[in-house]
A and B are shown apart, each in its own frame.
Chain A
């Protein structure tokens, strides 16, 4: 029985490996809130990941913490009043030239009440983080 030549296997695997290294970004934080993003058809991709700051809003994963809407900044729960400090901190860690391009992506559960979103928006306005993106899944709603 002739043996299968597997000499090109490493080359192939390396090709796939490089593809993954290039296209992927490392998971930066663990989600602590449950969210189902709303769907929208006219979504735009966020270009540079390094310019994007995330605000996660939803019910906590840990059901012992209740089902009320919570907000996660970085790796902990936070109040709306803490947004300004958080944005200032994120801005400071950025390149000076990139600061005006900073985008805040609001990832909120679709059943969140608008009151909460509006409070977040107000806080973002005060923090001069004016470029925002309502994160949503692409699809027909």
Chain B
């Protein structure tokens, strides 16, 4: 048998690059890279009956955050009242305690202060065990009709930041690692330990223009 030395003809693939570049350009143009992100909230379900169903909350368990039409923020609990004139002061730049720290102190109530939310012992499973928590605390964010959305989000953000820091601290304390590195179950435990109890009441039209 003679040795045949057949040459396999190669496919000319030089235009492949052009074609794939074309596709690449198409996808570059039609796609949007921005993933949507935001502050997640859960709204209360609509009132079932005609008369407004309101929940009675003990005064000590309540932290009221008011944002008025001038975008100033008033924070009030039974212990103290704080007034923040702008966003920088919310973060503690004006020499006052920042809103974040007020919320953290309010949620933790480490000293078992009688004017801060009451502590109840609850079991969160190993390794947290039974610890006293302020299960009944409520942070009520109220706004005026002419409050700007920006100021409202700034306040929301500070409150969420307080919770995130609490969760981070809790995670470091009980699991010796950052909250991000926890498993889903562990994150849930920490979330149960520091649940976000933020109430968004309907706005009242006080002290502001229409």
Q: Which residues of A contact B (CB under 8 A)?
A: 6-7, 9-10, 13-14, 16-17, 20-21, 23-27, 38-46, 49, 52, 54, 103, 105-115, 117-118, 121-122, 124-126, 128-138, 141
Contact = CB atoms under 8 A, between A and B. Distances in A.
B48 to A, nearest CB: 12
Interface residues of B, number: 47
A40 B157 contact: yes
6 contacts: A6-B14, A42-B39, A42-B161, A114-B145, A114-B147, A136-B39
Interface of B: 13-14, 16-17, 20-21, 23-24, 27-28, 30-33, 35-46, 67, 87, 143-150, 152-154, 156-157, 160-161, 164, 200, 202-203
A112 to B, nearest CB: 4
Contacts of A118: 143, 145, 202-203
A24 B33 contact: yes
A45 B35 contact: yes
A25 B32 contact: yes
A13 B43 contact: no
* Prevailing SS type, chain A contact patch: mixed
Contacts of A38: 149-150, 153-154
A133 B45 contact: no
A130 B20 contact: no
Given A13-B20, A23-B33, A52-B36, A121 B200 contact: yes
Given A10-B17, A25-B32, A122-B202, A114 B41 contact: no
Contacts of A108: 149
Contacts of A132: 40-43
Given A17-B23, A17-B24, A135-B37, A114 B157 contact: no
Given A42-B164, A131-B40, A134-B41, 18 more contacts: A40-B160, A43-B39, A44-B38, A46-B37, A106-B38, A110-B153, A111-B148, A111-B149, A113-B147, A113-B149, A124-B43, A130-B42, A130-B43, A132-B41, A133-B39, A137-B37, A138-B37, A141-B153
